Amino acid sequence: MTELLFKPKYEINDEMLTLVANIASKMTSIADLGTMDRHPPLRNSNRIKAIHGSLAIENSKLLLWQVEGLRDGKMILADPEDITEAKNCIAAYDRLFELNPYDVMDFLTAHQILMKDLLWVPGQFRTRNVGVVSGKEIVYLAPPPDSVSGMMADLFRWIEEANVHPLIKSVIFHYEVEFIHPFLDGNGRMGRMWETRLLGNWNNVFAWLPVEAMINERRDEYYEALQTSQNSEDCTAFLLYMLQAIWETMNKYSEYDEPDSDDDMDPVFIRANKLVDVLGPQSMFVEEIMEGLKLKSKQSFKKNYLEPALRLGLIEMTMPQYPTIRDQRYRRKWQKG
């Protein structure tokens, strides 16, 4: 076996080991409860959050409901490039778990889907120098293009052969894609998406946990950890940040476990389902729903009932392309009449 010319640099500390142990334990409990298997709307909602989060990190202006609408095949009014990026991202995530996480050619296939109609040569490694610019300052200059193919080959060989915990491997792969910057564009999206692919290969629970949404919520820390690691050419800082983000994702987005009774249900889920019960098989205006719920504050209604029900994928707008239109109605997600 020939020695790798390129190896990731990192150090494991006690905090990271604790996070790995906690994540593994939490993952087992989620899998045992079967939360994702028994709640298809939760899986769908989390996948949309993952896609929206990864796009938002790259400054997409699309809102969550617009990404959901595109995934459902609906027309929306938005910047054409944002729409193309979102459609491509949806297609890439839909194909993701058909791809071999240890095959560089499948990695290139994913990039081709992700960047279709956005680059002249999607699915090919770059042939010129690239860097990250902030204002007029170059904050990071990627390795030269003639080294990209070899570095990526070594990286894929490392993730397949290294005797390292899958959580650590997935994060390091994410970082190294950002460091190598193998493509002219789409590197961040590819790093995040392939981390999800590697995590899902370890345990299918991660196929439905939107780590990308948590990264977007902690975006400033993400860029800070990334830059710290790039400056030192050592991914320790990024590794710690990502393990924390994965742990927070598991705690935030796996909270709707099947309850034993109504008293044990999450209040957000209770309110969302009350709204659905009021809707019944018909579509209704906001005022009609509020009347059915006996609520008077429109602001409270939107925050505590309407937005959670939309977020959980339980209801939808009748005219999603005009979210603020006066004649907007809402209906159950399955109700198309």
The confidence score (pLDDT) of residue 4 equals 65
Question: Beta-carbon neighbour count of residue 125 at 10 Å?
Answer: 18
The confidence score (pLDDT) of residue 334 equals 59
When pLDDT is cut at 50, 70 and 90, the band that residue 222 belongs to is very high
What radius of gyration, in Å, describes the C-alpha atoms of the chain?
A: 22
Is the model's pLDDT at 114 over the cut of 80? yes
When pLDDT is cut at 50, 70 and 90, the band that residue 141 belongs to is confident
Range scoring the smallest mean pLDDT among 25-34, 133-142, 147-156, 254-263: 254-263
pLDDT tens column, 265-310: 457 777 888 898 888 788 999 999 999 898 888 888 998 899 888 8
pLDDT tens column, 246-264: 999 988 876 554 434 444 3
Q: Which of 27, 78, 26 is nearest to 52 (CA)?
A: 78
Mean pLDDT of 224-249: 94
Q: Where in the chain is CATH 1.10.3290.10?
A: 36-253
The confidence score (pLDDT) of residue 262 equals 42
The confidence score (pLDDT) of residue 140 equals 80
CA dist list (Å): 248 to 40, 151, 161:
22, 31, 29
Question: Which of the listed ranges 109-113, 118-122, 201-205, 259-263 does the model predict with the highest average pLDDT?
Answer: 109-113
Fold (topology level) of 262-332: Arc Repressor Mutant, subunit A (1.10.10)
Dihedral of the alpha carbons of 251, 257, 262, 267, in degrees to the nearest 10: 30
- Whether residue 213 contacts residue 249, with contact meaning beta carbons closer than 8 Å, is answered with yes
pTM (2 decimals)?
A: 0.74
Range scoring the smallest mean pLDDT among 21-30, 171-180, 191-200: 21-30
Mean pLDDT of 113-131: 94
Residue whose tokens read 């790798």: 4
Mean pLDDT of 77-105: 95
Average pLDDT of the chain to the nearest whole number: 87
Dihedral of the alpha carbons of 270, 322, 60, 51, in degrees to the nearest 10: 40
DSSP-derived 3-state class of residue 141: strand
Q: Which two tokens stand for residue 30?
A: 């989620």
Q: Kindly report the CATH class assigned to 36-253.
A: mainly alpha
Q: Where in the chain is CATH 1.10.10?
A: 262-332
